[in-house]
Structures are given as C-alpha cells and as structure tokens.
Amino acid sequence: MQSPGHIDPVTVPRAKTLRDDGRIDLVGLTKDQLRDVLTEAGMELKQAKLRSKQVWHWIYNRGVIEFTSMTDIAKAMHVWLDERFVVGRPEVIEAQVSSDGTRKWLLRSPDGQDYEMVFIPDADRGTLCVSSQVGCTLNCRFCFTGTMRLVRNLTAGEIVGQVMLARDSLGEWPSGEEGRMLTNIVMMGMGEPLYNFEAVRDGLKIVMDGDGLALSKRRITLSTSGVVPMMARAGAEIGVNLAVSLHAVTKEVRDEIVPINRKYGIEELLQACADYPQANNARRITFEYVMLKGKNDSDDDARELVRLIHKYKLPAKVNLIPFNPWPGATYECSDRDRIKAFSTIIFDAGISAPIRTPRGRDIMAACGQLKSASEKKTRAELDALAEEKQAALG
C-alpha cells in the first residue's frame, strides 16, 4: 500500500493489461501509442499511420465502441481489429439519480476494483467529477474517501473512460456538436490527482485534444490537497485550472483535517500557488474550504484567509463548502448564518467567496462523500487506518 510519508508515493505508470479474452483496450492510448499497438500486432507501418488516425477519430470524436461502425475502414479490417482490440467502457455496477438531478455511477474495472464518478447538471453548465485513484493515500478527516486505503491508481484509459461513459449516458456524440450538457470536468473524485500525475496528465491530454473529445483546458479543473512538488509540473504539462483543498488557515487545524499539511505547510503551499504558471485574473486559483462547525469557521479564520491571499498576491476565489455528512464522521456543518458571515468578510475584502449549494447528498454524491461501497469497515478499523496514515506523515 502506498502511504504518504516523508517521501511522496512514486507514481508508476500501469502497463496496458490484457483482458481475459486477450484483447487490448484502445481507450486511453495516445495517437502515437495507438499507431504503435497496430504495428506491434502486425500491421504495416504506413497502413498503421492511416488506420490509427481513423480509429482515433471514431473512438474519441464519434464515440463508437464497435469496429463495424467505422464505415471508412474495410470490413475485412473490422474483423482483424476485433480479434485483437476492444473499445472499452467502465462496467457500471450501479447508477443513481438524486432528487436534484445529480447522477452518480459506481464503476468497476476489469480487475474488479470499484470507483465512482458524478455528474452535476446546472442551468448553464454540466460538470463531471472524475476519480483518479481507487481509494486515497491521504486522510483528510472530513472526507469519506479518506477512510479508504489506496488500492491502486487508475490508468489514463480509466480516467478517459469516465468521460466517455458520461458522454454515452448523455447522448453527446459526436464531440463537436453544440449545446452539450457536459461542459466542464473537475478532477475532484476519489483520490489525489497529483499522486497519479502521469495517468492524469495523459488522460486529460486526450480529453483536451481538438481531434477527439475537444474539451478546452479552461473547462477543466484539477484539485489537489497540496502536493507541492508536482504543482508547477501540473501547470506546465497539463495547464488546466487549479483548485486547492485548503480548508484551514492555521497549522494546528490544517495538520488535523488535511494531514499532508505536516509535510507541505500552508506557506509553502501558497507560494506554490503564487508560482503556478496558469494563474491570472482570468483564471483564478480556487481555494476549497469546507465549513466545519467550531473548527475553521470563525471570523478570525476568515480574516486570516484574506490576509494570506493578499500576502501572496494570489488571483483567487474561495468556494465555501457546507460539510456533507457521512457515516461515522466526527464533524458537523457550520450553521448557515455562520457560513454567511464568513463569506461576507471575504467578499468585503474584494475576494469572491460563494457558498456552494450541496448537490446529491441523498445519494452520497456530494463533495467529500465518494467512497465505493465495496469496502466496508468497522469504526475501530477506520480509526486504526486514520492513525496509520497520520503516523506515516510523521
């Protein structure tokens, strides 16, 4: 098991695994990788260059899952491709719809691992919350996913596959059509994206490719709990919007509720935000701040948050998130009036601080509530796991 100690977990790219039927899943391969697997399977290089472009278009632009639907490829080639390859999707174990329209899917990988994704519809946008890991190596104490052990990283194909499955469910193929419901992606599902950097980067590059899923980087947000050494690299190699799970403004409180703070403190984290190459007034950094009653919600906390943002001259906004309860949680949500007062102090200082409306609470799809149902632990086991993770942080 990977656990966050004094040395960060090493992100090792997972090899493209064969299915039980021996075929290779093409979803998640780059254009060059797609060409290479065709040549490795015996296709002549010149033909592989042409076929890879055609297959790429059908997979990512048209959303097809059957080679027989690729009408500009000869029927004999359909058979050849089908014998060796597959265009996969995650297996849907359960699909739920909230009373507010939020959708949650419990997905299963070919090796039997479960993970979740959520789609949140709004009047002017639709946001897909994508997972990057099965479980999580961190132990943010307000987060249900943090009670899980990290099982493994998701592959680039499993990350892209979530987006493609959502497109399937919403009937949004081909990619270039206007009026799509799925307009935004947030890497805010299960796991810490920057502890699975290569797969997240490679998956998002496919999502942003103009010849494929064609979603603008301005429509994608990556959230991190504060893996400082990877933040600059994320800005340089992915270039999407940055969100930071801040949640506290003092060392004592953040050490407790976001234990990675013991490794990368608030000042170090905020300097990394100031250095983030994509941050500007048009693309502000979002600070996520869950409101916990009596823990991080005082007027002094709000004023300190303002001071820190001004100190580092950060182009920023603050999303205030009412705590979403889950079984065994030890925190309570701040009172509505307290959240409003906190927001007012930040707004009065010239910083946007909207209060997020909880979505999908009735199906455990709200922020901090994601956890695959395949792992059930007793309260004692959860407490022991929390102690184990915190001890690893030193």
Amino acid at 295: K
Q: Which residue has the tokens 């997979």?
A: 59
Amino acid at 323: F
**Distance (Å, whole) CA 136 – CA 148:** 6
Amino acid at 102: T
83, 91, 116, 273: the catalytic one is 116
Residue among 205, 197, 242, 198 at smallest CA distance from 224: 242
CB 23 within 8 A of CB 86: yes
Sign of CA dihedral 180, 186, 188, 194: positive
Residue among 162, 201, 128 at smallest CA distance from 365: 128
Strands (E), 219-315: 220-224, 241-245, 285-291
136, 304, 367, 388: the catalytic one is 367
Is 367 designated active site?
A: yes
Is 268 designated active site?
A: no
Sign of CA dihedral 112, 113, 119, 120: positive
Give me the active site residues, please: 116, 367
